[in-house]
Amino acid sequence: MARPLVADIDFDALRHNYALARELAGESRALAVIKADAYGHGAVACALALESLPEGKRPPAFAVACLEEAEALRLGGIASPIVLLEGIFEAAELARVEALGLWMAVHSEWQLQALLAHRPARPIPVWVKVDSGMHRLGFAPEQVESVWQRLSAAPECATGLQLMSHFATADAVDAGYFETQLQRMRDLAQRLQAPLCLANSPATLAWPQSHGSWVRPGVMLYGSDPLERPSAASRRLQPVMTLRSEIIAVRDLAVGEPVGYAGRWRAPRPSRIAVVACGYGDGYDRHAVDGTPVLVAGQRTTIAGKVSMDMLTVDVTDIPEADIGSEVVLWGRSRHGAVLGVDEVARYCDTISYTLLTGILPRVPRRYSRLD
């Protein structure tokens, strides 16, 4: 019998979330971001699930961080355009960019020079990345007009020019800095008569004025709500990953008995503790505090004691039917219908859903099937 821990991936939920992004995008096209192995869900499998949608409903392009991620998609049979969000990391990669038919961001002078010196057999679609205030990657706004002109003057090298940037605070209730970044990009686009790609997941959900020619839904595709304050739209997201395991042992404890390393949790009453096959060796966050929610047999209860490498312990005192083999959902949708959001679990771990989803390790099987 196999260890019971599995990450169930629900393609219906993935397609639902992408359809929501398209609906919110209006006239904008929706680029599906599947970097970091589709945020831990399996990039090739998720891309195939989206690419199999009917014409007009599938993504017009996918986005990844680097050439290696794009190569894996091509090897997996993905034929759609793929955007390299960080562009190339050395000039030699341009030959593979060309051979694989990729689109690429250009965010720095050395990348621009490498592209203009490469002279591909077919021009490469280029997205010029602007540092509108994130101060991470991108040309300063005052440099962009010159960059645009140099690329426009080399149609044998570059085609399909777009402007792109990244918002630092699109998830926040306070829109001040977001609006500053947006205005900078609007001004640039107007001067250059350039198409824009700005909206990440939170901006796609909450800021229609930022949608431009393209939106870039990422974590929202996987059912995580990136907004500081949930909206009517974000509440429509469906969880794609369910991290599911089972109880493998049960212990009855007297008042005051400790559980786990360092005895962090002690029974405040006669207690029944269940041991679950899941731990930080699987990618579950070791920083989960006592009280972090889980679902046992569809009912909410909490972690009791520190997470171990291969196991964690939960309090099932108030779930008398819980026993060896009972379903445990660490996040996602229980077979009993209850849902535990990964965003809620992340708050108890003092982190964000991105780290939980991308942190699930390869020893946890991904099971790609629609939940009934």
Quickly list DSSP for 272-283: EEEEES--GGGT
Catalytic residue among 18, 35, 39, 354: 35
Q: Which residues contact 42 (CB under 8 A, 6 or more apart)?
A: 9, 366, 368
Q: Is 222 a catalytic residue?
A: no
CA distance 156 to 341: 48
CB–CB of 167/198 below 8 Å? yes
- Residue closest to 124 by CA, chosen among 105, 138, 145, 110: 105
Question: HSE of 210 in the Cβ direction (CA atoms, 13 Å)?
Answer: 29
CB–CB of 361/244 below 8 Å? no
223: which 2 tokens? 């059912």
CB–CB of 201/230 below 8 Å? no
Q: Is 18 a catalytic residue?
A: no
Q: What are phi and psi of 150, to 5 degrees?
A: -65, -40
In the chain, where do the E strands start and end?
6-9, 29-30, 32-33, 62-64, 82-84, 103-106, 124-129, 158-164, 196-199, 214-215, 241-253, 258-259, 265-266, 271-276, 293-296, 299-303, 312-315, 327-333, 339-340, 366-368
Amino acid (one-letter) located at 305 = G
Total residue count of the chain as it appears in this document: 372
- The alpha carbon torsion through 74, 80, 81, 86 (nearest 10 deg) reads -50
CB–CB of 158/123 below 8 Å? yes
Catalytic residue numbers read: 35, 261
